[in-house]
């Protein structure tokens, strides 16, 4: 039986984080309940993200 591996996705743009790609991963600054994942492109462009748990919007 084959086990499915969940791919990480950018919280800002929803793109899949490819193996070896640089990204940031940290808990939501407000609630700490959700892990925010940001791809390199969104980090460089300072794209906003929204925490799905508490609605916090960050740069």
- The residue range of the domain holding 17 is 1-59
pTM of the model: 0.84
Contact call for residues 42 and 12 (beta carbons, < 8 A): yes
Q: What is the pLDDT of residues 17-48, one digit of tens each?
A: 999 999 999 999 999 999 999 999 999 999 99
User: What is the arithmetic mean of pLDDT over 49-56?
Assistant: 97
Q: Which residue has tokens 């919007």?
A: 57
Contact call for residues 17 and 10 (beta carbons, < 8 A): yes
pLDDT of the residue at 53: 96
Task: Work out the pLDDT band at 5, boundaries 50, 70, 90.
Answer: confident
Task: Work out the pLDDT band at 58, boundaries 50, 70, 90.
Answer: very high
The total number of structural domains in the chain stands at 1
């Amino acid at each position: 039986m084959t086990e499915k591996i969940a791919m990480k996705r950018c919280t800002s743009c929803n793109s899949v984080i490819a193996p070896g790609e640089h990204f940031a991963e940290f808990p939501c600054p407000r609630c700490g309940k959700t892990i925010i994942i940001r791809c390199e492109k969104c980090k460089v462009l300072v794209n906003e993200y929204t925490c799905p748990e508490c609605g916090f919007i960050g740069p």
